Structure 1
Amino acid sequence: MASTLMKDAPGQGNAAGGGKTFFGHPRGLATLFMTEMWERFSFYGMRALLVYYLISGGPDGAEEGLQGGGLAMTAAMASSIYAVYLAMVYLLAVPGGWFGDRLWGPRKTVAIAGGVIMAGHFTLAVPGAPAFFIGLGLVALGSGLLKANISTMVGQLYAGPQDPRRDGGFTLFYIGINLGAFGAPFVIGTVGETVSWHAGFALAGVGMALGLVQFLIGTKHLDPRSSVVPNPLSPQERARCRKKGLGWLLAAATCCGVVVASGAFSLDRVLLPITLLGLIVPVVVLTRIKRDKELTGAEQARMSGYIWFFIAAAAFWMIYDQGGSTLSVFAAGSTAGELFGFDFPATWFQALNPLFVMALAPVLAWLWLWLARRRQEPGTAVKFAMALLCIGGSFFVFLLPMAAAADGSKVSPMWLVSIYLVQTVGELCLSPVGLSVTAKLAPAKYGSRMMGVWFLSVTAGNCVTSLLGLANVDLSGGGAVTAEAVLAAIAGLGIFMYRKRIAALTEG
């Protein structure tokens, strides 16, 4: 597929010296584009099935009209597992970057990550709870390793930040992400929901296998720096890391053994410490950076401003990521799977977000530039406030179809289309802006690590959702949806009211 997108363009090759390009970009971008597209295809396809598989076979699954063969969990527990899974993907991106920087280099780390993800999906294809949790852990681990390193290799294809093709290259790469996410629900979702959950998980594994094979074939087109370990561990550091790793592994194995042997094992007792870890790590990381005495006064002030953005982002992701859990459950049980006489599976709703991203991202990018030329572009704090008001507003809208379906009737699918549309507008106001503000406000000492800190906002938000699920809060109930909508609206208004103070903290 990538070869059909190539064309001859002498003089525009990459550093490796290739003569062909990918839409005028280094040929290695085609390799990374396809790798990320297939990885996202597998990731979002499995994600579309995850909550449905967890609740199928139980009362909540029967209520939503799903086929059997799942793990028969409650919707609350399924939402907690889903949230913890997403949280761990982004939490593991931090050590994933460490592996690329200090142990294997980006290219080798991505190859290993692809193999781990593929193994995880094929393990999910094996029936039974033990295989499910092992597979889910492998997918989370591999996704964290890949996420932290593949973007680095995209940047290495260009001659520094001033290369005029660089921004366009990342835009093409971003399209690959959304193409994979868009196609996955139609293929993996349909097979998993209508034929067999495990056949769907196996298809996700096939998708990752395709991505891994073409990555290994196309590595010759990547920049040679992708094979270099930027800051390799010394022999002494390797020995220390090995010793610490074995120590932690032994401690974890001992704790698990004691819990299982005592008969006190339960899923809640496994999820709770993982969830708390996902909340503690961001707090510890931000506190350590904020209290670093080597930072200048200006850097300290900027970190104070950045914490506002981090908390706002965590609140946003807490609601946004329920698009694959709370909204998915509503899609299966209370939304008509028919439009204009055409029937479709509930997993297809998961294709709406990537579709809207591809359609609206260029529009918003143009809008910000158009406003900037007129000196009217909203500041970062205002964009964050807009994002929070959008995500809160989407849940206020959600209350209307919830009320209409309270008597057991099915509502129009256009309600969910509207909700996902509003949420995507909010995402485009926050996600790219958040990456930008992280780079701008990062202290010089923590330039690279701050990108990992930004991803921890996703971890924190999803861990809050997991805690609510573990506390048996009905996230699909009107009370919880109202509370989350009000919380987001208050946070958005708070950011807007204090925008001048935030701007003063982040000045310069």
Structure 2
Amino acid sequence: MASSLTKDSAAPGTPGSEKTFFGHPRGLATLFMTEMWERFSYYGMKALLPLYLVAPGGLHLNAATATAVYSVYVSLVYLLALPGGWFGDRVWGPRKTVAVAGTVIMLGHLTLALPSSGTFFAGLGLVAIGSGLLKANISTMVGHLYDGPDDPRRDGGFTVFYMGINLGAFAAPLVIGTIGETVDWHLGFALAALGMALGLGQFLIGSRNLAPRSTVVPTPLSAAERATTLRKALIWAGVAAVFYTVVGVSGSYTLNWLLVPLTLAGVVIPVMVLARMKRDKELDGTEQSKLSAYIWFFVAAAVFWMIYDQGGSTLSIFAEASAENSVLGWEFPVSWYQSVNPVLIMALAPVFAWFWLALNKRGNEPSTIVKFSSGLVLVGASFFVFLAPLSIAEGGHKAAAMWLVAIYFVQTVGELTLSPVGLSVTTKMAPAKYASQMMGVWFLAVTAGDATTGLLSIAGVDLNKMGIVALEAALAAVAGVAIYMYRNKVKSLMGDVH
């Protein structure tokens, strides 16, 4: 499939220089297709997950527990991106790490496809581990295709790669969601495994077109470091095994024995990582100042993702129980709502890029802080919109599908205002010592937000109640206004970053 999109290279000397993929190195086709199929498998399973958790034919959990499981799973995917990047840097190299990751993800989906509830959480764990291993390393390999950060094709290459993510995310709920909801849940999970198998096959076949440096381990562990790391891992694994064996034998085991430690880790680890950086005496005054400014963005981003990621849990569970999932009399599966965001991203991202450029030419482009605060206000506004269908449902009626589409629309506009800016400001404000680690720190904001949602759900908070939704909406709006009001202080801490 990828070869039909290639042509002669206009820039000989780059990896895969005999052909190009839309004017980019041929290896981009391999990574584009791999990521597209991996995202197809991930978002398809993710669209089914909350519905399967509450369905009588699934695990039949209550809404709070289902939301907790979903939130913990998503937070783990982003949390594990840090050790995933570490494996690529120090153990296997990016190419081998991605191959192993694809295999683990595929096995995870196959485990989910088994008609046994006893293996379900093991399957979720495998998918989370594999996604964490893959996430940072495949993006690293895209960068390897270009001649350094100043290569004029680099930004365009990542844009093409990003389109692959959204194509997979758009198609997955339409295919996997439909089969899972209307035919058989486990067949849907099996289709997710097939998607990852196609991505893994594409990667293995096309890996000859990747840059040679993708096979290199940048900073390999010494023999002593390897032994120490293995010993520590075995000790912690042993402690966990003994603890859960004792809990299980005592007959007191419940799902919360697993969920609570994972959600607490999702909140505590991001705080520990930032605190360790702030205590680093090797950072100069300018770097410390920028790090202080970055904490503002990090906390605000955690609030943003706490609300935004409920689009896959709280909103899906509401739609299943209380929405009229039809348009002009035509009914559709609930999982299809998860295709709204990626199709809006593909439609609106070029518009936003053009809009910011047009404002920049006029000298009117908003600052990073204003864009960021706007994103927070918008995600808060999306939950204020959510109050309308909640009110309709409380009146004993089904809410129209377009209410949910409107919520996803507002959230997507907020995402395009905040997420690209967050990625950009992360790279600009990273201390030199932590340049390669800061993208993992940005992912930890997602971890913290989803872990907070998990903790609320475990505590028994009903996230589909009007009072809670209004409180979350107000929290995001207040956070956005606070950043705007303190914009001059944050600007001063940012130094030369604007």
TM-score interval (norm. to shorter) = over 0.9
Question: Within 5 A, what are the aligned runs for 1:429-508?
Answer: 429-508=417-496
Work out whether 1:23 is the aligned partner of 2:22: yes
**1 CA distance for matches of 2:491 and 2:451?**
29
Residue 38 (structure 2) pairs with residue 39 (structure 1)? yes
Distance 1:16 1:167 in 2: 17
Using the aligned pairs only, state the percent identity: 64
Q: 1:48 maps to which residue? A: 47
Q: Deviations over 1:386-421 (max 9, x none)?
A: 001000000000101111122332222111111100
Aligned residue identity for 2:44: G
- Matched residue, 1:405: 393
* Counterpart AA for 1:209: A
Would the aligned equivalents of 2:31 and 2:161 in 1 still touch at CA under 8 Å?
yes
CA distance in 2, matches of 1:255, 1:127: 28
2:44 and 2:173 in contact (8 A); partners too = yes
Q: How much has 1:244 moved relative to structure 2? A: 1.1
Tell me the alpha carbon deviations over residues 113-158 of structure 1, each in whole angstroms, 9 at most, x when there is no partner: 0000000001000123221100000000000000010000000001
Name the counterpart of 1:2. Answer: 2
Cα distance between partner residues in 2 of 1:387 and 1:315: 11
1:199 aligned to 2:187? Answer: yes
1:469 and 1:143 mapped to 2: Cα distance? 24
Q: Structure 1 CA distance, aligned partners of 2:300 and 2:423?
A: 14
Paired position in structure 2 for 1:234 = 222
C-alpha displacement at 1:14, in angstroms?
Answer: 6.0
What does 1:123-202 correspond to in 2, within 5 Å? 123-202=111-190
2:437 alignment partner AA: R
Counterpart check, 1:323 vs 2:322: no
CA distance in 1, matches of 2:269, 2:358: 39
Cα deviation, residue 196, structure 1? 0.6
Aligned residue in 2 for 1:220: 208
Question: In 1, distance between residues paired with 2:116 and 2:139?
Answer: 35
Once residues 13 and 403 of structure 2 are traced to their aligned partners in structure 1, the CA distance between those partners, rounded to angstroms, is 46
Partners of 2:117 and 2:485 in 1: how far apart?
48
Return the offset for 1:309.
0.2
Q: Which runs of 4+ in 1 moved over 6 A?
A: none
**In the aligned structure 2, how far is the partner of 1:337 from the partner of 1:218?**
41
Q: Is the 8 A contact 1:32 1:215 kept in 2?
A: yes
Q: Look up the equivalent residue of 1:237 and give its one-letter code.
A: E
Structure 1 stretch 106-115 or stretch 409-418: which is displaced more? 409-418
Q: Provide the C-alpha distance between the structure 2 equivalents of 1:371 and 1:165, rounded to a whole number of angstroms.
A: 24
Give the match's secondary structure for 1:47: helix
User: Aligned with 1:473: secondary structure?
Assistant: coil
How many Å separate the matches in 1 of 2:87 and 2:175?
33
Q: State how far apart, in whole Å, the 1-side matches of 2:159 and 2:231 are.
A: 42
Q: Is the 8 A contact 1:13 1:25 kept in 2?
A: no
Q: SS of the residue aligned with 2:324?
A: coil
- Is the contact between residue 14 and residue 26 of structure 1 (CA under 8 Å) also seen in structure 2? no
What is the rounded CA distance, in whole Å, between the counterparts of 1:13 and 1:253 in structure 2? 54
Matches within 5 A, 1:309-348: 309-348=297-336
Task: State the alpha-carbon separation in 2 of the partners of residues 230 and 320 from structure 1.
Answer: 35
SS of residue in 1 equivalent to 2:394: coil
Residue 13 of structure 1 deviates from its aligned partner by 4.9
- 1:18-97 to 2 correspondence within 5 Å? 18-57=17-56, 69-97=57-85
Work out the CA distance in 1 between the residues paired with 2:26 and 2:407: 38
Structure 1, unaligned stretches of length 5 or more? 58-68
Q: For residues 351 and 52 of structure 2, what CA distance do their matches in structure 1 show?
A: 36
Q: CA deviation at 1:488?
A: 0.6
- CA RMSD across the alignment: 1.0
Structure 2: distance between partners of 1:10 and 1:419: 44
CA–CA distance in 2 between the matches of 1:14 and 1:55? 54
Aligned counterparts of 2:160 and 2:92: Cα–Cα separation in 1: 26
Is the Cα contact below 8 Å between 1:46 and 1:201 reproduced in 2? yes
CA separation in 1, counterparts of 2:473 and 2:484? 17
User: Quick one: distance in 2 between partners of 1:480 and 1:2?
Assistant: 47
Q: Against the structure 1 CA distance between its residues 119 and 404, is the aligned structure 2 distance closer, same or farther, given a 3 Å change threshold?
A: same
Task: Kindly indicate whether the alpha-carbon contact (under 8 Å) linking 1:14 and 1:158 is maintained by their aligned counterparts in 2.
Answer: no
What SS is found at the alignment partner of 1:405?
Answer: helix
Q: Distance in 2 between matches of 1:244 and 1:10?
A: 48
SS in 2 for 1:265: coil
Q: How many residues align?
A: 496
Cα distance in 2 for partners of 1:236, 1:30 equals 39
Contact map agreement 2:170 2:339 (CA 8 A) in 1:
yes
Distance 1:238 1:130 in 2: 34
1:49·1:347 contact (CA, 8 Å) conserved in 2?
A: yes
Cα distance in 2 for residues equivalent to 1:269 and 1:107 = 36
Structure-2 separation of matches of 1:17 and 1:404: 57
